[in-house]
Amino acid sequence: MCLDFQKWHVFFAGERLDSQESFQLAKKLWIDACGIPEPQVHPVPQMLPAEGAAAQYTARGPGISSASSY
């Protein structure tokens, strides 16, 4: 079975808004190696209060049109 990672979207969740350790480790160990396109990788927004980060992250929901940057 072959997986087409070009079609995947990866979302991150966590209780800490001040750390991207999980995201950076995943990016290094498998996201880049799998070739998942950058706009399809969605880290938790940084440098926002929890409510703002949640609203921005949730807005990317099913239609997912905003590109993320990492």
Tell me the chain's radius of gyration from C-alpha atoms: 13
Structure confidence at residue 70 (pLDDT): 45
Residue 5 φ/ψ, nearest 5 degrees = -70, -10
Cα angle for residues 25, 29, 34 (degrees, 5° grid) = 130
Please, what are the averages of pLDDT over each run of 10 residues along the chain (70 residues)?
89 70 88 94 81 80 53
